[in-house]
Amino acid sequence: MLIRKLLVAVQAVLFAGLLAGSGGGQALAGPVNTGHIEAELVAQDAAAVPGATIYVALRQKIQPGWHTYWRNPGDAGDATKIVWTLPTGWTAGDIVWPTPEKSRVGPLLDYAYKGEVLLPVPITVPVDARPGSTVTLKAAAAFLVCEEICIPEDAVLTLDLPIVAGAPGPDPKWGAVVAKTLADAPKSAGLKAVFKLEGGVLKLAVTGAPLKGADMAGAYFFPYSGKVIDHAADQTIERGPEGLTLGLTPGYDFTSGTPPTELSGVLALKGQSVEVTATAGDPPVTASGLGAPPSVAKGAAKGPVDAKGLLTALVFAFLGGLILNLMPCVFPVLSMKAASLAGHAHDPGKTRLQGLAFLVGVVATFLALAGLLIALRAGGAAVGWGFQLQSPVVVASLALVMLLVALNMSGVFEFGTSVQGVGGSISARGGVTGAFFTGALAVVVAAPCTAPFMAGALGFALVQPPLISLSVFLALALGFAAPFVILTFAPALLARLPRPGAWMDTLKKGLAFPMYGTAAWLVWVFSQQSGSIALGEVFAAAVLLAFGAWLYGHAQTRRAVGKPSLVPLLLALLSLAGAVALTALTLQAPGPVAATAQASTPSGPGLASEPWSPERVAALRAQGRPILVDFTAAWCVTCQVNEKVALSGAGVAQVFKDRNAVLLKADWTNRDATIAAALAEHGRAGVPLYLVYPAKGGPPVILPQLLTEGMVIEAIEKAAS
C-alpha cells in the first residue's frame, strides 16, 4: 500500500493549448488509447454560440478491472486532471464531478470511477466568436488508473467545434449522454447541514424537504477534503422525520490538525445525490430519532489499436533513426564505426558479420532502454527518452567507459590480442563482440537526442501498450543501424578503401581523439548534475583507470617478450577497483547548490534566460510578451549546438531586446516531472523542443530541432507582430 501511495506523488500534470481552426458540421473528436483508458472530448451541443456556455466532457472508457478517481480519491489515488490553455475570451470552469463509487482495496477505501464516465466542463464562448468558423478545443488530461497496481497515463485530446449564430441542436452521438451526466450530477438542494464532534464521533446532520420520505438505506457522505474523515471506517445512519444524521470517524483535521469551519461534500442516497455544506453546530432533533434504515447496502456497486497511427509511427520512427545518424549526438561514435570497418573492408564475410553484430547491438540496446523506460513510466516515474543520462552515476560510468575505449584505440593497451604484429593483426581486432558493443555504445550516447520524425514517433509510442511501444522502438533501431549495415553489404563501396596496412593503426589512433572528446563532454554533463566533490572523485577515478590501462598494456608487452607480468596485472586490477569505488562514491556526493540570488542565466552575448515554469509562461503571456521556451539538457549535444549556433548571436539578442521577448530555459539535465509532462503535452518524449508563444495569444509554434539564428529571429519577429 505504501508503494501505491508513493505512485500518486509522481503523476504528471500536463499542459495543453487551444488551437483555432476552420470547418463545419457537427462536433468532431478522436479517442486516444492511453493504455488502460480510451479517452476523448465530447460535446453536449453540436455547435457553440457566441456568448453562451457549452459543456465539453472528458469521456473515459476504463478497462474492466481498473478504475480512475474522483476529486477526493479517498485513502489513496489521485484525481483526474484536465488543463486547458484557451485563447483570449475563452474560459473553462471546474469539472462537474459525477458521484463516485466506493472501491475497497485491503484496509483502504477509495472513491473511484469504473467502466465509462464523463467529466463535463463548462466553457464560456466569447461574444466576439465568429459564426461560420470552427475552433479546435485542446486539453491535456492526466489519469491515475489502478487495479492492484497504479499507472499514471495521459493524453492530449482535441475537439473541433463549429460556431453558429442560432441555437444549436444537441450533438447527435453524445448530446443526450452529456445531458444525463449533468442531470444526475450532485447539486445543491437547499438542505441545511451542521456537524459536531462528540465523544470521538463526527456527527453530520442534514435536514430539508428533499429528504422527507427519501430511501436512506446506504446513505453515504463523500467529503471533498481528504483529511476530514477516516474514509475506510463505516458510516452509521440515524433517520429523523426531516432528515438524517451520519456518524463519521474523524480524520486528521479533527484529530491532529486545525478543525475546519465547514464540511463540504456529496450526500449520496438511493436514486439521488446532493451537495451539502455543513457548518459547526448542534444537530437538530428532526435529524434523528427514527433509528437506522431497515436495510443498509453494503459495499460499492460494481460497475482497439489505431492501425493507421501505428503505421505512421513505424515509418516516422524508421526515418527518425536514419536521420539520427546525422545528429551531433552521434558524431563522436562514428570513429568507432570507421575504425571497425576499416579493418575488414576487403574481407566481405567478416565485414557482413560485423554489420549484423552492430545491428544486433543497436536493436538489443534500443529495446532494453525502451523496456526500462516503459517499466519506469508504468511505475509512475515521470521520465522520457534519454533518461539514462539523467543519472549522474550512469554519466560518470559512461565517461570512464569512453576513456577506456579511447585509451585502447590509442594503443595504451590491446583488447583481445597481443601487441606483436600490429600491422598484420589489426584486421583481426574489433570482431563480432566489438561490433556489438560499438552498436550498444552508439545507442546509449546518441539516443538522448531526438531527430526530426523521431520525436512524434516516440510521443506516440509512450502512450501505447508495451508491445506496440516496443515495435516503434524496434523501427527506430532499424533506421539507426541501417546505414552502417547497408554499407557492410555493399562491396563496391568497401572496395574503394585502401588495402589493410600500417595506415589503419594510424587511423585508429587518430580516431581515438573524438572518444576522448566524448569522455570530456560526459564529465562536463556530470559537472552540471553534481557538486565539486563528486566531480573530483570522477577525475580521480579517471586517473586510476588510465593508470590501470597503462599497467595492463605494460603487462601485455612484458608477456609478449617472455617476461613476468603478474605484478603489473595485479596493480592494474587494484587501479580498476579503485576507479570503480570512486565512481560508486558519486552516489553519496552532494549535488550542486542551486543559485537563488540569480534570476536569470546567460545564454549568449547580451541574451539572458530565465528558468521555465508553467506559472512564468502564464504571467508573461498575460503581459503580452513573446516567449521562446528552450527545452534542453546538458547531455543533449544537439541542444548545446543549437545554443551556440542559434541562440548566442548578437542579432538574436537584439531582436529579443527590440521585441521585449523572453527566453525561458526548461533544463531537463536532471529528472523533472513537470518538464516531462510539458514535453508529453506536445507529443514529445525527449529534448530538444523549442516553443514560441505569440504576444497576442494563441497556441505556441514548434520550431525545428536543428535551429539557425535566422529561424529564431524570424520566429520572434512573427510572434511579436
φ, ψ of residue 324 to 5 degrees: the values are: -60, -30
Write out the three cell numbers for 43: 460535446
Q: Check: CB of residue 331 under 8 Å from CB of residue 638.
A: no
Quick one: pLDDT at residue 705?
A: 78
- CATH numeric code, 2-184: 2.60.40.1250
- DSSP per residue, 113-169: E-SEEEEEEEEEPPTT--TT-EEEEEEEEEEEEESSSEEEEEEEEEEEEEB-SSPPP
> Per the structure block, which three cell numbers stand in for 584?
560508486
Nearest to 410 by CA among 340, 551, 512, 502: 512
89: alpha, beta or left? (left if phi > 0; alpha if psi -120 to 50)? left
**Residue (of 690, 624, 632) closest to 661 by Cα position:** 624
Gap between the Cα atoms of 465 and 628, Å rounded: 34
**Dihedral of CA 360/366/369/374: which sign?**
negative
Q: Judge whether 57 and 119 are in contact, CB under 8 Å.
A: yes
- Measured CA to CA, the distance from residue 93 to residue 235 in angstroms comes to 32
CA distances from 341 to 12, 334, 514 (A): 45, 10, 17
Residue 274 grid coordinates: 446532493
Within the chain, which residues score under 50 in pLDDT?
1-28, 296-304, 379-384, 416-430, 589-600
The pLDDT value given to residue 596: 34
- CB-neighbour burial class of residue 422 (10 A; exposed 0-12, middle 13-18, buried 19+): middle
**Which residues sit opposite 666 in a β-bridge?**
631
Question: How many CB atoms sit inside 10 A of residue 74's CB?
Answer: 22
Instruction: Find out whether 343 and 430 touch, Cβ atoms under 8 Å.
Output: yes
pLDDT of residue 295: 54
> Residue ranges per domain, the chain?
2-184, 188-287, 307-392+419-512, 601-720
In terms of Cα–Cα distance, which of 183, 166, 141 is closest to 55? 183
**Fold category of 188-287 in CATH:** Immunoglobulin-like (2.60.40)
The values of phi and psi at residue 23, to 5°, are: 150, -165
Pairing, β 192-198 against β 201-207: antiparallel
| 113 and 270 Cβ atoms separated by less than 8 Å | no
Cell 529495446, residue? Answer: 367
Per-residue confidence (pLDDT) for residue 69, from 0 to 100 = 93
CATH architecture, range 601-720: 3-Layer(aba) Sandwich (3.40)
Q: Tell me the per-residue pLDDT of 286-327, one tens digit each, with 9 for 90 and over.
A: 888 777 776 543 333 333 455 666 787 788 888 878 877 766
> Residue 423's pLDDT is what?
33
Domains 2-184 and 188-287 agree in fold = yes
Question: Cell triple for residue 428?
Answer: 583481426
Q: Are 366 and 440 in contact (CB under 8 A)?
A: no
Residue 385 corresponds to which cell in the numbers above? 527518452
Sequence-ordered list of residues with C-beta below 8 angstroms from that of 36, at least 6 positions apart, any chain? 62, 63, 66, 145, 151, 153
Q: What is the DSSP string of 54-97?
A: EEEEEEEEEPTT-BEEEEEEESS----EEEE---TT-EE----P
DSSP-derived 3-state class of residue 173 = coil
Name the burial class of residue 550, with classes exposed (0-12), middle (13-18) and buried (19+) by CB atoms within 10 angstroms of its CB: middle
Question: Which pLDDT value is given to residue 691?
Answer: 94
How distant is the alpha carbon of residue 53 from its chain centre? 33
Q: Residue 533 in contact with residue 519, Cβ under 8 Å? A: no
What one-character-per-residue DSSP string does 385-442 give? TTGGGGSHHHHHHHHHHHHHHHHHHTTSS-SSS-STTHHHHGGGSS-HHHHHHHHHHH
| 221 residue type, one letter | F
Nearest residue to 698 (alpha-carbon basis) of 713, 714, 720, 676? 720
Q: Which of 694, 718, 701 is nearest to 620 (CA)?
A: 694
For the record, the C-alpha cell of 128 comes out as: 466576439
The pLDDT, as a whole number, for residue 663 is 95
